[in-house]
């Protein structure tokens, strides 16, 4: 039984909390995809070149940062151990592309020393990373 003086309440669906949840999920997916980007080298300030060419993705990247520290595929190493690490990473009887990412403030002699070690690797192609002007 209903009382005559009670007004009938119309049913409503409040979508504002649903919009908040959808924006929270969207924000989560956007932020998570930002962390999925992969960087091949350490942060270095590359020299510029007008004749720079894009190379295919290299399986071996040697980075020399501004302090002169070496890293092979983002793993810190020393010059004396570089030859052994390159031989482990290179596939036998296949051409290996080795890219040297050297900061422009690095001593030229250190870059030449790294290049000399790379040239001792059989079937190695050497590339020097630069930044297009």
Q: Is residue 38 part of a domain?
A: no
- What is the token pair recorded at 29? 């997916």
Task: Give the integer Cα–Cα distance in Å for 70 and 64.
Answer: 5
- SS3 at position 29: helix
Instruction: Work out how many domains the chain is built from and give that number.
Output: 1
Q: Is residue 106 part of a domain?
A: yes
CA atoms within 13 A on the CB side of 127: 19
pTM above 0.85, yes or no: no
Q: 66 is in which domain, residue-wise?
A: 48-132
Q: Is residue 79 part of a domain?
A: yes
Question: How high is the pLDDT of residue 54?
Answer: 66
Q: Is residue 116 part of a domain?
A: yes
Task: Give the integer Cα–Cα distance in Å for 104 and 127.
Answer: 15
Task: List the CATH number of the domain containing 87.
Answer: 3.30.420
Residue pointed to by tokens 């720079």: 52
Q: Is residue 93 part of a domain?
A: yes
What are residue 38's phi and psi, to 5 degrees?
-110, 135
Q: Is residue 7 part of a domain?
A: no
**pLDDT tens digit at each of 133 positions of the chain:** 555 667 777 878 888 889 999 999 999 998 888 777 655 556 667 777 777 766 555 578 889 988 889 999 889 999 898 888 888 888 777 788 888 888 888 888 999 999 999 888 888 888 888 777 6
Q: For the chain, count helices (H), then strands (E).
A: 3, 7
- How far is Cα of residue 84 from the mean position of the Cα atoms in its chain? 24
Question: How high is the pLDDT of residue 57?
Answer: 55
Q: Is residue 40 part of a domain?
A: no
Nearest to 111 by CA among 120, 102, 99, 121: 102
């Amino acid at each position: 039984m209903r009382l005559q003086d009670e007004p009938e309440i119309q049913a409503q669906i409040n979508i504002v909390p649903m919009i908040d949840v959808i924006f929270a999920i969207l924000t989560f997916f956007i932020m998570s995809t930002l962390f999925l980007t992969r960087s091949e080298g350490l942060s270095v300030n590359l020299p510029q070149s007008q004749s720079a060419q894009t190379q295919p993705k290299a399986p071996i990247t040697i980075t020399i940062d501004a302090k002169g520290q070496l890293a092979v595929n983002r793993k810190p190493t020393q010059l004396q151990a570089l030859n052994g690490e390159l031989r482990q990473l290179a596939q036998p009887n296949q051409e290996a592309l080795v890219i040297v990412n050297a900061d422009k403030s690095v001593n030229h002699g250190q870059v030449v020393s790294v290049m000399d070690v790379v040239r001792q690797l059989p079937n190695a192609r050497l590339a020097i990373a630069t930044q297009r002007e």
